[in-house]
Amino acid sequence: MRARKAAPVATVDVLRSTIRGAGLRSTAPRLAVLKRLMGAGTPVSHSELYDELAREGMDRTTVYRNLVDLTDAGLVERTDLGDHVWRFELKRLGEGPKVDSHAHFTCTDCGTVACLDDVEVKVRAGRAPRAVARRKVEVQLRGLCDDCG
């Protein structure tokens, strides 16, 4: 299994431009949240982000509101991997929208989450409901990771 590597850290000017390009004001909290998501390389929860950003003086509500703003602006993707915890990851940055979706793998033993960018999952079905074509579809794989297996 190959997990997504963390994105290279962009300059502050690129991050500001990206935030403004999405129609948002470029604020210090938004820059901090976006920078952490860029460095993560895997979906992270609000709680995980807060634990990192609290050291910079950010409170839990500020982190959450900025995650919601960045998600609504189309910069961040929100997903639930079956444990009722929203996780967030970058959707697009810099050169344009990320058009390809990807599967996520969750280890059923240690809880590690990995993005599977290089994995193609095919679902065979007679005919999918029209609603599937109009909505976001998430593929989530579960099992034991290499460390636990």
Q: Where exactly are the structural domains of the chain? A: 12-143
Give the phi and the psi of residue 128 in degrees, each rounded to 5: -80, 145
CATH no., domain 12-143:
1.10.10.10
Write the CA distances from 103 to 18, 33, 88, 142, integer angstroms: 25, 23, 14, 11
The model carries a pTM of 0.70
**Range with top average pLDDT, 2-6, 66-70, 83-87:** 66-70
Give the per-residue pLDDT at 30.
96
pLDDT, tens digit, 9 for 90 and up, residues 30-43:
999 999 998 887 88
Q: What integer pLDDT is reported at residue 72 of this predicted model? A: 94
* pLDDT attached to residue 16: 92
Residue-wise burial string across 87-97, b where 16 or more C-beta atoms lie within 10 A, e elsewhere: bbbbbbbeeee
Residue 120 to residue 82: CA distance in whole angstroms: 20
Chain mean pLDDT for the chain: 81
> What is the pLDDT, as a whole number, of residue 97?
42
pLDDT in tens, 89-147: 887 554 444 445 677 788 888 888 887 777 777 766 667 677 766 666 677 788 898 99
